Structure 1
């Protein structure tokens, strides 16, 4: 197949094209810092007093001391060591090799599965360190927060440039959405579909290892900082965050093969959009509630704890059951005898079970869990509810992207399907 046929020029922009790609690249990075400077004990609260915000923002942005303080050499070295640990674990720990979905070339890429082993090894080493040296030995992620953010941003930017340059080597399979010819847009969206060095795949590695595991380690560091301040005890709210988010990440690691059917892996290239999301946004924004609970220590009590537990486990049940149905069906299994319709192209679309209630029931489960995590902070500040609000916007945008592709792929069959399953995410509402 000719290169031009295999890698056609991208004609449709997403995110408002190059200007949108530039603004999102800058905005996401800026917002990660803003969530710290706008919600921390060093800034005067969460949020700081509104009447001083404009003056503080202006003085901060023009302060050379602030800009130089963003980089912390020790934090950068620790972050590089962490990333190197994840790479070494990928190579050295045993793991099965599985096939991904069929590529446009007709081939299937092989992926190594050992994220769960990496996760357990990291937790074991951290637990041993805390047991041997005490809670204060693992508070550095809280103490050097900004430095770690900057190190992760540098890594995300560097990888985005590296894989963009790699994509110009001959024989590369490009992402259908990342071959526009515009440098800014393609660098952001990801030009190559699966940038790799040998069997090491950058996209799947970053998707599930350095950022996700670091998210849990950050939560542990926040709990350690709180324990130091409280004489060895932590609040019930911190326990819930630690338990919920550790379980969420562990579940993702354990079910690692499921990620290879997601849009990130099958459709999107690997550029700054995914690198900054995986390495910066996930660990440093998703852990916002845990960081908040360090300096605003909330005791929930039995009633509020019960409410949070119900919301979280309801979300987890929907998330796991719906994903289980989808993965079984895609692998040729149908233990629940789910109904489905067959399109003209031969594809099968589930029309019963959780996937008969809405087209993206797993998104509903994800949103409920995100809301439960924010409930651990009660309603003391709107900032800790940033994550579920952002997540709702992200998932709705992803749902719209996915359904646009399905409409183009299935045509009239998609119209028929949407009449059978009319709700997008939330049954009877949306």
Structure 2
């Protein structure tokens, strides 16, 4: 293996991103509480501390809610039935292929049914997530930081590290352990896939449902912007669950190490930052006591059309590529989880054979551009922000702007890796598929 190249600006960039990542969700939470989702500017440091204590102090109930949710998902990952799928060979572990029990879809539906029963019987009201949003966030941040240290030092002590740069802070940020696993109830559970597929997205959906229920409690109605956010997230998260068997071949699983960056954003960043639009709609409807005034139904209808089109491209393009990879390895298993969109499995697909033995798909959506799913993802993220048009503000657009930057940076990392791996075959591929994101434009 060659020397591990530093990304994100090395150690300095890692420190900056750790600080920034801690700042963003807390700032958004204080903004929602004290500025109705607008720019939050406390008059003094003492006011900032007081506001933080009032809104984001950890509580025992928040601790039990968050850790209970994580433990429940860990148990479900171990005991529920699912497809057994082998991942890609791991070069740093003598091409070992790990097996994954892909039962996220079962966990998804069991969790929704269980929490619906607890909510409607009054045993556990989901609106508590909206009421204690800041406290649960604080617990999630603390837990993710502690887990990052545990994973880092356990990997070093047990000699399960790979591709280290030996720059302590940078290695902590990027991770040193590729395939962290824990044995529970007689089953091996992949912690990285558990966090990426379930802990992040399922908690995000529950936070959005909590905001919608809170709005319904206040007005006995759920507004169209909130319905849009619920629909968008339901489609997105359900797709992640129903396509879990495709995830072992993705970049995050087969290449990215499980360090602070992935741990923090999966356990805290994604659910609490990405839930901003739903809570923005909630707090402003409560502030004005006029939840339906100012809604442009024309814009809402346009957003639904763009959402469904972007979702279709995003879902089917990822299915095409990942199922193509699985077909090439002989691990493809047909699956009919709802909703199965058309054109998601290619028959006799065209591809380029490279000198290193890998294949590059040039069929389906992938004959038009190299990253169709990135473009669709950005379109959906932008729609989330536009759904907040009823109360104009800047912060709802943070997510699509942040996501755009992350996607572009991820694309540059992928291109650098592919150039090194495929050499002249990469140029041939780019000549065949010249556009990265939008056919005929870029």
* Structure 1 residue 264 corresponds to structure 2 residue 257: no
Return the alpha-carbon distance in structure 1 between the equivalents of residues 52 and 386 of structure 2. Answer: 36
Following TM superposition, the consecutive aligned residue runs of length 4 or more in structure 1 with deviations greater than 6 angstroms are none
Once the two structures are superposed, residues 328-376 of structure 1 have per-residue CA deviations (whole angstroms, 9 ceiling, x without a partner) of 3212277344332222222221223311211111111111111122221
> Which of residues 254, 259, 269 is equivalent to 1:281?
269
For residue 62 of structure 1, report the CA deviation from its aligned partner.
5.3
CA distance change for structure 1 residues 322 and 233 in 2, over 3 Å: closer, same or farther? same
Please show how residues 409-424 of structure 1 align to structure 2 within 5 Å. Answer: 409-424=421-436
* Structure 1 residue 44 corresponds to structure 2 residue 35: yes
* Structure 1 residue 200 corresponds to structure 2 residue 189: yes
For residue 64 of structure 1, report the CA deviation from its aligned partner.
9.2
Aligned to 2:396: 384
* Structure 1 residue 353 corresponds to structure 2 residue 364: yes
Please show how residues 20-169 of structure 1 align to structure 2 within 5 Å. Answer: 20-38=13-31, 40=32, 42-48=33-39, 53=41, 55-56=43-44, 58-61=45-48, 63=50, 66=53, 69-104=56-91, 105-133=94-122, 137-169=125-157
TM-score, scaled to structure 1: 0.90
Return the alpha-carbon distance in structure 2 between the equivalents of residues 68 and 354 of structure 1. Answer: 46
CA contact (8 A) 1:175 1:267 kept: no
* Structure 1 residue 400 corresponds to structure 2 residue 412: yes
Return the alpha-carbon distance in structure 2 between the equivalents of residues 244 and 349 of structure 1. Answer: 31
Return the alpha-carbon distance in structure 2 between the equivalents of residues 68 and 308 of structure 1. Answer: 33
- Give the SS at the match of 2:376: helix
For residue 274 of structure 1, report the CA deviation from its aligned partner.
0.2
Select between 62-71 and 282-291 the one with higher mean Cα deviation: 62-71
For residue 72 of structure 1, report the CA deviation from its aligned partner.
2.1
Select between 361-370 and 415-424 the one with higher mean Cα deviation: 415-424
For residue 138 of structure 1, report the CA deviation from its aligned partner.
2.2
Aligned length: 412
Return the alpha-carbon distance in structure 1 between the equivalents of residues 18 and 51 of structure 2. Answer: 23
- Give the SS at the match of 2:239: helix
CA distance change for structure 1 residues 354 and 138 in 2, over 3 Å: closer, same or farther? same
Return the alpha-carbon distance in structure 2 between the equivalents of residues 283 and 116 of structure 1. Answer: 18
- Give the SS at the match of 1:331: helix
CA distance change for structure 1 residues 326 and 68 in 2, over 3 Å: closer, same or farther? closer
For residue 162 of structure 1, report the CA deviation from its aligned partner.
1.1
For residue 130 of structure 1, report the CA deviation from its aligned partner.
3.0
TM-score, scaled to structure 2: 0.88
Return the alpha-carbon distance in structure 1 between the equivalents of residues 83 and 299 of structure 2. Answer: 42
Once the two structures are superposed, residues 30-78 of structure 1 have per-residue CA deviations (whole angstroms, 9 ceiling, x without a partner) of 111111222x1x31333147xxx2635x344555973895222221121
* Structure 1 residue 228 corresponds to structure 2 residue 239: no
Return the alpha-carbon distance in structure 2 between the equivalents of residues 69 and 365 of structure 1. Answer: 34
Once the two structures are superposed, residues 164-207 of structure 1 have per-residue CA deviations (whole angstroms, 9 ceiling, x without a partner) of 112124552x343xx01122111110101112234222211111
In structure 1, stretches of 5+ residues that fail to align are none
- Give the SS at the match of 1:367: helix
Return the alpha-carbon distance in structure 1 between the equivalents of residues 227 and 102 of structure 2. Answer: 30
In structure 2, stretches of 5+ residues that fail to align are 286-290, 329-344
